[in-house]
Chains A and B, each alone.
Chain A
Amino acid sequence: MTVPEIRFSEPTHEGPRGQNDRPGDPPVDSTAIDTTVVAGSPGTTTRRRPRYRFAPGHRPRRRRMRRSGIAAAWILGCTTVVLILAPLILQLSEVEVAGTPFTAPLGDQILGTDSQGRDMLARTLVAMRTSWLAALVIITIGVVVGGTIGLVAGFSGGIVDTILMRLTDAFLALPGPLVALAVVAALGPSLRNALIAVALTWWPWYARIVRSEVRSLMNRSHVEAARAGGLSRPRVAFVHVVPGTLSAVLVAASLDVGSVILVLAGLSFLGLGSPPPAAELGAMTAQGLTYLFNAPWVAVVPAIGLFALAVLANFVGDAASDALEA
Chain B
Amino acid sequence: MLRKIVIRLVSLVGVLLLLTFIVFLIQRTLPADPVKAFYGRNSSPAIIAEKRAELRLDDPLLVQYGAFLGDLVQGDLGTSLRTRQPVRDDIGAFLPATLELAASASFVALTLGFAIGIIGSRPGRMSGVARGSSVALAAVPTFLAGIVGILVFYRWLDWLPAGQRSSDPGVSTPTGFLLVDTAIGGDPAGFGDAVRHLILPAIALGIGPAVAVGRTLRASLRQAYREEYVRSARAKGVTDFNVIRRHALRNALNPALAMFGLQLGLLLAGAVVVEVVFSWPGIGLYLSQGIQATDFPSVIGVVFVLGVMYVLINAVIDTLQLVVDPRLRT
Count residues of B near A (Cβ-Cβ below 8 Å). Answer: 51
Contact of A318 with B141 in the complex, beta carbons under 8 Å: no
Q: Is A244 an interface residue (CB 8 A)?
A: no
Q: Is B62 an interface residue (CB 8 A)?
A: no
Name 8 extra pairs, CB < 8 A, besides A186-B300, A306-B144, A311-B136: A177-B270, A285-B143, A286-B276, A292-B150, A300-B144, A303-B147, A314-B136, A315-B135
Q: How far is the CA of A77 from the CA of B12 in the complex (A)?
A: 44
Q: Is A32 an interface residue (CB 8 A)?
A: no
Q: Is A135 an interface residue (CB 8 A)?
A: no
- Residue ID in chain B nearest A201 by CB atoms: B265
Which 4 residue pairs across A and B have the least CB separation, nearest first? A175-B265, A177-B269, A310-B139, A303-B144
Known: A178-B269, A187-B31, A265-B141. A285 touches B147 (CB 8 A): yes
In the complex, chain A residues 265-295 whose Cβ is within 8 Å of any chain B Cβ: 265-266, 269-272, 282, 285-286, 289, 292-293
Contact of B307 with A272 in the complex, beta carbons under 8 Å: no
Residues in B with CB closer than 8 Å to A306 are 141, 144
Q: Is B324 an interface residue (CB 8 A)?
A: no
Count residues of A near B (Cβ-Cβ below 8 Å). Answer: 49
Listed stretches A92-100, A147-155, A166-174; interface member? A166-174
CB within 8 A of B142: which of A266, A300, A318?
A: A266
Contact of B268 with A178 in the complex, beta carbons under 8 Å: yes
Q: Is A182 an interface residue (CB 8 A)?
A: yes
B255-267 vs A: 1/0 string, CB under 8 Å?
Answer: 0000000001110
Chain B nearest CB, measured from A250 CB (Å): 18
Known: A186-B30, A258-B139. A170 touches B147 (CB 8 A): no
Contact of A174 with B139 in the complex, beta carbons under 8 Å: no
Contact of A178 with B307 in the complex, beta carbons under 8 Å: yes
Q: How far is the CA of A265 from the CA of B314 in the complex (A)?
A: 26
Residues in A with CB closer than 8 Å to B311 are 173-175
Q: Is A296 an interface residue (CB 8 A)?
A: yes
In the complex, chain A residues 52-86 whose Cβ is within 8 Å of any chain B Cβ: none
Residues in B with CB closer than 8 Å to A299 are 147
CB within 8 A of B138: which of A173, A175, A269, A314?
A: A314
Q: Is A176 an interface residue (CB 8 A)?
A: yes
Which residues does B use to contact A, with CB under 8 Å? 11, 14-15, 18-19, 22-23, 26-27, 29-31, 135-136, 138-144, 147-148, 150-151, 155, 208, 228, 264-266, 268-270, 272-273, 276-277, 287-288, 291-292, 296, 299-300, 303, 306-307, 310-311, 314
Which residues does A use to contact B, with CB under 8 Å? 45, 166, 169-171, 173-179, 181-183, 185-189, 258-259, 262-263, 265-266, 269-272, 282, 285-286, 289, 292-293, 296, 299-300, 303-304, 306-307, 310-311, 313-315, 318
Residues in B with CB closer than 8 Å to A265 are 141
Contact of B27 with A186 in the complex, beta carbons under 8 Å: yes
Residues in A with CB closer than 8 Å to B140 are 307, 310
Residues in B with CB closer than 8 Å to A177 are 265-266, 269-270
Residues in A with CB closer than 8 Å to B139 are 258, 262, 307, 310-311, 313-314
Contact of B18 with A272 in the complex, beta carbons under 8 Å: no
Known: A170-B18, A175-B265, A186-B27. A266 touches B273 (CB 8 A): yes
Chain B nearest CB, measured from A224 CB (Å): 32
Residues in B with CB closer than 8 Å to A181 are 269, 272, 287, 299, 303
